[in-house]
Amino acid sequence: MEFVNKNTVKLDKEINELDKLVFRFVNILKKHVDYVIISGYVAILLGRSRTTEDVDVFIKEIDKGSFNNLYSELQNDGFWCLNSGDPNDIYDYLESGLATRFALENTTIPNFEVKVAKKLLDRESFTDRTTAVTEIGNIYISSIERQVAFKRYYLKSEKDIEDAKHMEESFGKNLDIQKINKYKSLLMK
């Protein structure tokens, strides 16, 4: 793993089944709406060895027609929504700030927790995201500094602290400590 520049990291990890599923989902998603992967899967993608039940995804605001096209393509590729089978309900959930969950048909785990980034801090995750380059393609993830601050100073569970430590150890001197502290102060408000 290496930082190519401040917004790009090249990964040399062996791609596993979860990674393949995430890329399958994201390859559909990115045709219809801008996205960024956040939280636990970021640490997993960056080499932390642990499991997860869900992959958290922020999307930008999406109009109903674009959402219907996205939902139709997800269904055609074998995904279903755990919240509802009615695309109007799902769209309403997203518009009201609620998360929706998608998984492969006949499964519930792992699933994709998709939420429209409505809060300012959430929306800003699109402007400082990192591109992770892998052997099967590129994927947008939340900046490493944002992840470290969020996990270490906001979530603070044992699992989240371990995720933060993994990223700190993996990226060391490449991390922008001032940026981490900026996010820490914003999260503590």
In tens, the pLDDT along 13-35 reads 999 999 999 999 999 999 999 99
Share of residues in the chain with pLDDT > 70 (%):
100
pLDDT tens digits, residue range 143-181? Answer: 999 999 999 999 999 999 999 999 999 999 999 999 999
3 state SS of 29: helix
Question: What is the domain partition of the chain in residue ranges?
Answer: 2-143
CATH fold of the domain at 2-143: Nuclear Transport Factor 2; Chain: A, (3.10.450)
Token digits for 27? 């390859």
Pairwise CA distance, residues 102 & 104, whole Å: 7
Cross-strand bridge partners of residue 28: none
Give, as one character, the DSSP assignment of residue 125: G
**What's the one-letter identity of residue 79?**
F
